[in-house]
Amino acid sequence: DADVTQTPRNRITKTGKRIMLECSQTKGHDRMYWYRQDPGLGLRLIYYSFDVKDINKGEISDGYSVSRQAQAKFSLSLESAIPNQTALYFCATSDPGTTQETQYFGPGTRLLVL
Amino acid sequence: GNSVTQMEGPVTLSEEAFLTINCTYTATGYPSLFWYVQYPGEGLQLLLKATKADDKGSNKGFEATYRKETTSFHLEKGSVQVSDSAVYFCALSDLSFQKLVFGTGTRLLVSP
């Protein structure tokens, strides 16, 4: 079984809808991240969390919110989806104590906003 | 701020050719440097890393050397295979906040 899972894997939604992307991990890592990937732009950090009580904005947090429900779960919400949020979204985890800066990625969620 | 610049792709090679993908960085201090690989339909996975100047990271026949004097971390492989076709991302770690900064990615296409 994968250590970092994301649901759904694919999602089509309409402008203005609220949607949630979920991430779960069995690695026991404290740190979790959400990125989006766009062609020609690489990965950009949306939000990150260093533990359940710690949430931080990344470089492109506008239009997004997150919830860290437990050490193993980190959800990303789009309160009112817009077409330019069409992208591939990745969740990642890390643990400085054991893996240093290495991050472990989920398989991604492909989101299309019409 | 910290940034990573890598060569644009796609890079198209025949099997057994030599591969170089260039990566340069701008950073304060001495970050750790990484190469991640993304195979079609999958998430990113760590390929190799180096944590200090002159360190060489290696894995699966790929190598990269941390060059502080040229602020570079170029990825090389002596003989590529079709199975190496993927997108390769160079990244650095912001040591202050334990975040990764990624380059834009370079797509490698290897033909038989």
Residue B99 confidence (pLDDT): 82
How far off is chain A from B45, nearest CA to CA, in Å? 7
C-alpha to C-alpha distance for B49 and B58, rounded to whole angstroms: 8
Rounded average pLDDT over B51-79: 96
Say if CB B39 and CB B86 are below 8 A apart: yes
pLDDT band at B36 (very low <50, low <70, confident <90, very high): very high
pLDDT of B71: 95
CB atoms B45 and A105 under 8 Å = yes
Q: What is the rounded distance in angstroms from the CA atom of residue B75 to the CA atom of residue B21?
A: 5
Contact with chain A for residue B46, Cβ under 8 A = yes
Please state, in angstroms and rounded to a whole number, the distance separating the CA atoms of residues A47 and A59: 8
Contact by Cβ (8 Å): B78, B20? no
- Nearest Cα to A65, choosing from A85, A41, A95? A85
In terms of pLDDT, which residue wins out, A32 or A2? Answer: A32
For chain A, give me the number of helices (H) and strands (E)? 1, 11
Question: In angstroms, what separates the C-alpha of B33 from chain A's closest C-alpha?
Answer: 10
